[in-house]
Structure 1
Amino acid sequence: MATILLVEDNELNRDMLSRRLTRNGFEVLLAVDGQQGVDLATSRRPDLILMDMSLPVLDGWEATRRVKADPQTAAIPVIALTAHAMEQDRQAALAAGCDDFDTKPVELPRLMEKIRALLAPAG
């Protein structure tokens, strides 16, 4: 069972998405701010991170940069989640180190496709 770290400060979004991921067979770790997300990524080394970009304490861009800068967590795929759907927002997330980008409100089938693609073994 793959482990997904969901870094999301909005309780409703966090609850809804974590329940849907659990129903899809994932173990879900939860973080409510960017610093907690970085700390959990380091201590638990999840298979994938879903990173909200607008977070307290440490925003998603900086949290992603820190995860990607650490050799122990650099290979963990990160999908940015944001309500900001403009192309420059996508580019900023990718520039921070995110491997993919998805918009809120989350469309679960589309997000699941991206998660499965990033978790699929290479080759």
Structure 2
Amino acid sequence: QVDNSLDLEQVVIGWGLALVKHVLDLHGGYLTLSSEIGVGSCFAITLPYVTPTSRPRTTAKPSVTQSHRVIAQSDPSPQILVVEDNEIEQETITTYLQAKGYRVIAVGNGNMAIEQMKLHRPNLILMDIQMPVKDGLDTMRTIRLQEDGEPIPIIALTGLAMPGDRDRCLDAGATDYISKPTPLKELHSKIQSLLETSAIQVS
């Protein structure tokens, strides 16, 4: 709980800028800042322009909703279930993983994740911890109780990063843990490592 309103404002601004940077990194853009004492600050976003003739051709995609998105289902690449209620964070992670060649199913709460598990067994799960309806800790416990066969790797994602959070996530069934704002390169590295380990165990 943050009591100081100024501190809270700084936390919110820092979180927002981190999300903006994630999106800009995905599109090859950058952020610049100019500031003048007593006047204020100006944030400028620069993105590369792609002409219609140079834009790569894309195939039709399934319809996208905030609650449930399936990307490239027919692709034989590893499938990742993203469980994240924040629409911007979900979109950022999903777009990044798609660009890396993964198939992605994205849902907005724990109950939907459990329902998806009945339809598709993913190769890996990214689990937000702070979610409405059913939080990440409870969802991971349910998944571990219901799964059959080798445990699915689960990376827990949390924005709190309080002492003991990592242990609570691991005790609930997480395989690994990462703090928000989600560092995409670190996330990709963890995903690759866990998928390789999982493949070795299965074989």
TM above 0.5? yes
Which of structure 1's runs of 4+ aligned residues deviate more than 3 A? none
Following TM superposition, by how much is the alpha carbon of 1:72 offset from its aligned partner in structure 2, in angstroms? 2.6
Distance across 2 between alignment mates of 1:28 and 1:78: 14
Q: Which of 151, 155, 173 in structure 2 is aligned with 1:97?
A: 173
Determine which structure has the larger helix proportion and give its number. 1
**Aligned pairs for 1:13-92 within 5 A:** 13-72=89-148, 75-92=151-168
* Contact kept? 1:67, 1:73, Cα under 8 Å: no
Question: Within 2, Cα distance between the matches of 1:110 and 1:122?
Answer: 21
Q: CA deviation at 1:42?
A: 2.5
Letter in 1 for 2:185: P
**3-state SS of 1:56 partner:** coil
Maintained 8 Å contact 1:4/1:48? yes
- State the partner residue of 1:11: 87
Q: Percent of aligned pairs with the same residue?
A: 37
Q: Which has the higher contact order (CA 8 A, sep 6+)?
A: 1
Structure 2 residue runs without a partner (length 5+): 1-76
Name the count of aligned residue pairs: 123
Distance 1:31 1:10 in 2: 10
What is the RMSD of the two structures over their aligned residues, measured on CA atoms?
1.4
> In structure 2, what is the Cα distance between the partners aligned to 1:24 and 1:44?
20
TM-aligned CA deviation for residue 74 of structure 1: 6.1
TM-score (norm 1): 0.94
Give 1:86 shift. 2.6
**1:73: how far off?**
6.9
Query: Secondary structure in 2 aligned to 1:122?
Result: helix
The alpha carbon displacement at 1:39 in A equals 1.2
Match of 1:114 in 2: 190
1:28-62 deviation per Cα after TM superposition (whole angstroms, max 9, x unaligned): 00110110011112321110000000111111001
